[in-house]
Structure 1
Amino acid sequence: MIFSRGTIDGIAAALAVHGLILRGGFNIADDEAAPAGNSGSAAKSALLVGQAGAAPWPHFQRWLVRQARGIANPLDTWSREVIGAVAQEFGARAVSPSDRPYLPFQQWAMRAEKLKPSPLGILMHPTYGLWHAYRGALLFEEGIFLPEPQEAIHLCDTCVEKPCMKSCPVDAYSERGFAHEACLGHVRGPRGEPCRAGGCLDRNACPYGTSYRYPSGVQAFHMAAFARL
């Protein structure tokens, strides 16, 4: 069975209530290793769920004020709750990027939207730049009728200056990869206030998708979660 465009539109509408969007999808071939679907049988298709810019933030904040103080990983919890409810409505299994064992979300995203990683590791989107995220996926035991996605323009290929590699005070990103400990030490230290208050300086230096850039309060939330502040 292959479900209809109308079903996909219904899923998109249910997610939009929470500021979330569908981020493409794909069918899983019979000879591929597949995660389980809702009943435990192998999934035949996946729809990725995420965001463009900070659209979910007001919805998340309204949810958060109703929760007990000190809830662990609140954004993950909210995402699981919202996407899980949509999954239940449409007969899917909801999975999250933070589920263990980890599922290959970045590979799924590259497959669904034909994106490539930026020098910071975040997938570069031709419209949203670096200001987007994947919050979960819906796994179905039926196929999906979806047009084959076109290869996305990889903006990093045409960016000569690469300001995203030159703005960090401790050169956390380089051709050698991400210097995790150096980044953490700086963010937590006395000179890390600009990063704590406004987010990663390298990410903010990227010239693409700036109209989708997360507000400073949203970036501060994510930085605090990353650095466990």
Structure 2
Amino acid sequence: MDYDTLIDAAADCQLSVVGAFHPGPDDMAPDGTGTLVILAPREPGFWRHLQTQPEAQDGAPDMVDRWSARTIGALAIQLRAEPLFPFGGPPWHPFITWAKRTGSIHASPVSLLVHDRQGLMVSFRGALALRERIDLPPPPLTPCLLCAAPCETACPVDALSEDGYDTSACHSFLDTQDGADCMENGCKARRACPVSQRFDRDPAQSAYHMRHFHR
């Protein structure tokens, strides 16, 4: 197993490796984990691919989580790894902490996580706990380093800042007519990120997640 093989195997499942690290005893990874790998939707094409899958056509709830469990579960068998998910708890796996440990995912000026290729649109479908300690490339610098941070002023109700996320203000705004843009196309702060604008995520996917967030 090497890093390139891992990337190719994930890509075959319409997934991207957005970070990996070698866990220590305080990282709450499964015992014996040599490398922990974080997986996200692969773009372009993730949402279009998902619509062809059984989970999107059977009328049952939580199609994205169910697709993730099936697909990453099968990938884990292929790679002889343990699948881990950010849903299905409690108990909950510390995905935010794990993401930051990769060095590829950072806290942005609005406290949301940001990735060098996916920007503020980064999301996690699951993780793989590999027994092997595979060699990893050096992590990239945060894309926020030389950015003018348009995300800081994009939210109409200033719900996002370096101090955290005012979810009450966000939900109240989404209930208004002006909130329709965020509901239909995704969070304005996330979309303002220059890296997010280069990341070809289908607005229908953002709308799906916004509906689940705001229900």
Give the TM-score, by structure 1 length. Answer: 0.81
Q: Which residue of 2 aligns with 1:72?
A: 61
> Does the 8 A contact of 1:34 with 1:43 survive in 2?
no
Greater Cα radius of gyration, structure 1 or 2: 1
Q: 1:18 — aligned with what?
A: 13
Alignment match of 2:37 (pick from 25, 47, 50) = 47
65, 82, 103: which one pairs with 2:93?
A: 103
Distance 1:115 1:24, change over 3 A: closer
How far the C-alpha of 1:54 sits from its partner, in A, is 4.7
Residues 33/177 of structure 1: CA separation in 2 closer, same or farther (3 Å cut): closer
Who is 1:206 aligned against? 193
Q: 1: CA distance between counterparts of 2:20 and 2:174?
A: 36
- Corresponding residue of 1:225: 212
State the 1:104 CA deviation. 1.6
Q: What is the deviation of 1:213?
A: 4.2
1:23-172 alignment, distance < 5 Å: 23-29=18-24, 31-32=25-26, 34-36=28-30, 41-64=31-54, 67-69=57-59, 71-100=60-89, 101-140=91-130, 142-147=131-136, 149-150=138-139, 152-160=140-148, 162-172=149-159
- Shift of the 73–120 alpha-carbon distance from structure 1 to 2, 3 Å rule, reads farther
Provide the C-alpha distance between the structure 1 equivalents of 2:56 and 2:119, rounded to a whole number of angstroms: 32
TM-score, reference length from structure 2:
0.85
CA displacement at 1:73 relative to structure 2: 1.9
Aligned residues: 214
Secondary structure in 2 matching 1:166? helix
Secondary structure of 1:191 counterpart: helix
Change (3 A) 1:94 1:188: same
Q: For structure 2, which runs of at least 5 residues remain unmatched after alignment?
A: none
- The residue that corresponds to 2:172 in the other structure is 185
Checking the alignment, whether the CA contact within 8 Å between 2:111 and 2:161 is kept in structure 1 is: no
* Residues in 2 aligned to 1:112 and 1:96: alpha-carbon distance in whole angstroms: 16
Structure 1: runs of 5+ lacking an equivalent: none
